[in-house]
Amino acid sequence: MTDATLEVVAIALVPAVLWGFSPIFDKRGMAAGGGAVQASLVVVLVDSTCYWLAIAALEGRSAVTGVTGETLAIFAFAGVVGTAVGRVTIFVGVDRVGASLNSAILSARPLFATLIALVALGEPLGPVTGVGIVVLVAGLALLATARGGDLAGWTTRDLLWPIAAAATFAVANVSRRYGMLDTPISALEAVAINETAGLVALLAYILAWGGRDVLAKPRASYRYFVGSGLLTTVAMLALMTALGLEGGRIAVVDPLVATAPLFTLLFAAVFLRDVERVTKGVVGGAALIVIGAALITI
């Protein structure tokens, strides 16, 4: 393993750990009376503000001067799909099935990326990819029957929320990788544009359909979502940095980031004992999904 690859591995593990812990804040915030759109807005508002402040301090007037209209469109698309739509579905999933199950199912996104490539690009499925799909689907099946997660219980239909989030993040990650390769945009600029597009989409939704009721939530929920936003700020920047490095291929970065549910299981077992149940089936299902995702990506 070269020094460049080691650097990619080290940086890619940062979002894995942080996104492993942020669902703990998310679940606490939802349990405190928060809502999915409110949570998404707070998280995106926090991280986009941090990114633009950092850009202003580090780059000044030279910020985003080399960004073309095409690059702006790529990251805006990724922001709307992955940051706005994807994050709303994440919070609904955390509320319905629990942080541990939701995080585990999110790691199935390489499956959707592979299916997109198969249908849209006609890319063939190799034998290792086929094995990975079987292992990943087995992990999802095990999670569906493990009856862990939220202590209040959930239905099989509720699993569609984290599955939808995994699909949106698969589309967004492919778009981000293409954008990082297409232009010399910095990771900080890329993530700022990405999150700002998501923020605009969420605000448009609230103004058009949500109204003030979306934000009329208990103050305690806001504190948890601000904490989640700060973790996301660092995690997203680390992800963009890893994708922009010389060896930052999706095949290397995505499987490492996909280990986040293993960290979530550990954190949930310690910090969410009163609201979630981490069973052996949940642990086994999460492990199979991570292994399957790695095989698919490789």
- Tens of pLDDT, residue by residue over 97-128, are 999 888 888 878 778 877 776 776 566 778 88
Which position has the higher pLDDT, 124 or 33?
33
pLDDT at 123: 62
Q: CB 208: neighbour CB atoms within 10 A?
A: 8
Read off the pLDDT of each residue in 188-201 and give the average, rounded to a whole number.
90
Q: Say what the pLDDT of residue 186 is.
A: 80
Positive or negative torsion for Cα 113, 117, 120, 126: negative
Rg (CA), the chain: 18
The better pLDDT of the pair 231, 250 is held by 231
Closest to 94 in 3D by CA, of 107, 85, 104: 104
Which residue's structure tokens are 């669902």?
23
Contact 107, 258 (CB under 8 A): yes
Query: How would you label 178-201 residue by residue, b for 16+ Cβ within 10 Å and e otherwise?
Result: ebbeebebbbbbbbbbbbbbbbbb
Count other C-beta atoms under 10 Å from residue 155's C-beta.
9
User: Is the separation of the CB atoms in 12 and 238 below 8 Å?
Assistant: yes
| Structure confidence by residue, pLDDT tens digits, 37-64 | 999 999 999 999 999 998 888 877 777 7
Consecutive H or E run containing 277: strand 276-277
- Pick from 30-34, 157-161, 180-184, 277-281: least confident: 180-184
Which whole number is the average pLDDT over 79-104? 92
Q: At what angle do helices 187-205 and 219-244 cross, to 10 degrees?
A: 140
DSSP letters spanning 19-71: HHHHHHHHHHHHHTT--HHHHHHHHHHHHHHHHHHHHHHHTGGGTTTT--HHH
Check residue 116 and give its pLDDT: 72
Q: What is the DSSP string of 114-172?
A: HHHIIIII-PPPPHHHHHHHHHHHHHHHHHHHH--EETT---GGGGHHHHHHHHHHHHH
Give SS3 for 13.
helix
Q: What share of the chain is helix, strand, coil (3-state, %, to 5)?
A: 80, 0, 15
pLDDT value for 129: 81
